[in-house]
Structure formats: C-alpha cells, structure tokens
C-alpha cells in the first residue's frame, strides 16, 4: 500500500484482488450520489435530498436519535436547512460488493445556530447505499456520526453480554 498523505491510503493494484476492486462505474455512481446529496443540501432542496434515500432509509440525526423512512427524515432536513451551517466532505472511501456500497466520509460543518452559537462539528460518517432494481444507488443507512454512536447512552446492550463500556 502507498500513503498519499496522512489521511489517505491508496492500495496498489497488487494489493487488491480483482474480485474485490469495485467496478469503476459503480464507484463513480456512488460518489455521484454523495455529490448530488451535497449539492441538494447546499440548495436546501428537500425533494432532491429525499429522492436520494431509500423508502425505508435510516438516518442517525444525532447519537441516540434515529429517524426511519423518508417521511421521518423530512423534519430533520427542514431543521437542518433552517441553520446557517455549511457542510462539506473532506475525504471519503467507497467499498462495493454487488448491489451494496459502504461509504466512509470525513466531514465538517461550520456556522451558527438560530440562537447565534458558533458550531464546527466534525466526524466520520458511515453510509450504506443499495442499488435498486432501477439501477439507482440510494442511501439506506446514513450515520453521520460513525462510531461516535457507540458512546451514546442510548446504545442498546445485548442482555447476554451486559452493558457495553
């Protein structure tokens, strides 16, 4: 593997088996969905945003707060669009297997809340996309907080394992 900088790992062709390497067209399509989502959020275009999600999509609004289904996502995006916050993707990695894709994306948001408070959160999102029968990739799980949700008090525990640290 080669390291292009301190944040990116670029596999050499010899390090990736042909069966694992994502087809270029599928990877480009998944990255295109991310670009479409970013553009629709910047335009505050609710219909365009929701069209990029599967009907039963799950969205982690914050650690411990989850919405599922397009109708449940709408209030979150309406709230987001009311903020004076700019969100941008810093870098991402796409992993594809068949009609499923995993997108890992570092992001940051900067701006002010309606109360005037300055915010600048950053995280690494974990996003799952699925290619539908129509050939379009849509977000199925959108977890902007990645592993941070493991630190939430709302994390479920397995009764056989006991509480998680």
Q: What is the CATH number of the domain that holds 33?
A: 3.10.450.50
Segment 51-65, tens digit of pLDDT:
999 999 999 988 888
Buried b (16+ CB within 10 A) or exposed e, 122-142: ebbbbbbbbbeeeeebbbbbb
Under 8 Å between Cβ of 120 and 110:
yes
Residue-wise pLDDT tens digits, 115-146: 888 877 777 889 999 999 999 999 999 998 77
Residue 72 pLDDT more than 90?
A: yes
Helical residues (DSSP H) of 57-140, grouped into ranges? 70-81
Please indicate, yes or no, if residue 78 is contained in any of the structural domains: yes
Residue 15 belongs to some domain of the structure: no
Confidence band of 110 (pLDDT split at 50, 70, 90): confident
- Check residue 70 and give its pLDDT: 93
Q: What is the DSSP letter of 83?
A: S
Please tell me the distance from the alpha carbon of residue 125 to that of residue 60, in angstroms, as a whole number: 10
Q: Which domain holds residue 82?
A: 23-148
């Amino acid at each position: 593997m080669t390291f292009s900088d301190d944040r990116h790992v670029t596999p050499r062709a010899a390090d990736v088996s042909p069966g694992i390497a994502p087809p270029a067209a599928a990877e480009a399509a998944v990255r295109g969905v991310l670009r479409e989502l970013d553009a629709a959020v910047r335009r505050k275009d609710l219909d365009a945003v929701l069209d990029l999600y599967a009907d039963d999509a799950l969205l982690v609004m914050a650690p411990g707060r989850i919405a599922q289904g397009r109708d449940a996502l709408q209030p979150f995006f309406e709230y987001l669009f009311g903020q004076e916050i700019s969100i941008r993707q810093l870098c991402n990695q796409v992993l594809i297997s068949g009609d499923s894709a995993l997108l890992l994306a570092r992001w940051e948001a900067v701006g002010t809340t309606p109360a005037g408070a300055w915010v600048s959160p950053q995280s690494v999102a974990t996003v799952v996309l699925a290619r539908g029968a129509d050939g379009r990739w849509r977000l199925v799980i959108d977890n902007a907080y990645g592993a941070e949700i493991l630190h939430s008090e709302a994390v479920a525990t397995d009764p056989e394992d006991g509480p998680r640290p």
